[in-house]
């Protein structure tokens, strides 16, 4: 089973982490500052390629941003 989570490493930088059966399968590195989002890197580890996991990472990011905007959370 796959699951994802957004983890902030500091006030600006974060990762969208993807797990498959509790094993990390990939990640997306990003930064949020001044109301802007920058995605620096998306990676799915070789043993998990071809399963649509990069799409899952992107979907989690879009969902997170949508939920954050709906709640009116302040910008980081």
Alpha helices in the chain (DSSP H): 53-71
Instruction: Give the model's pLDDT for residue 35.
Output: 81
Instruction: Give the model's pLDDT for residue 72.
Output: 63
Higher pLDDT, 10 or 72: 10
Domains parsed from the chain with CATH numbers? 2-71 (3.40.630.30)
Instruction: Give the model's pLDDT for residue 68.
Output: 77
SS3 72: coil
Instruction: Give the model's pLDDT for residue 32.
Output: 87
């Amino acid at each position: 089973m796959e699951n994802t989570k957004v983890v902030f490493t500091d006030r600006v930088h974060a990762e969208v982490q993807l797990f498959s059966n509790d094993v990390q399968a990939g990640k997306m590195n990003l930064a949020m500052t001044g109301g802007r989002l920058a995605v620096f890197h998306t990676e799915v580890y070789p043993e998990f390629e071809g399963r649509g996991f990069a799409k899952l990472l992107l979907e989690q990011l879009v969902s997170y941003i949508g939920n954050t905007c709906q709640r009116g959370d302040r910008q980081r």
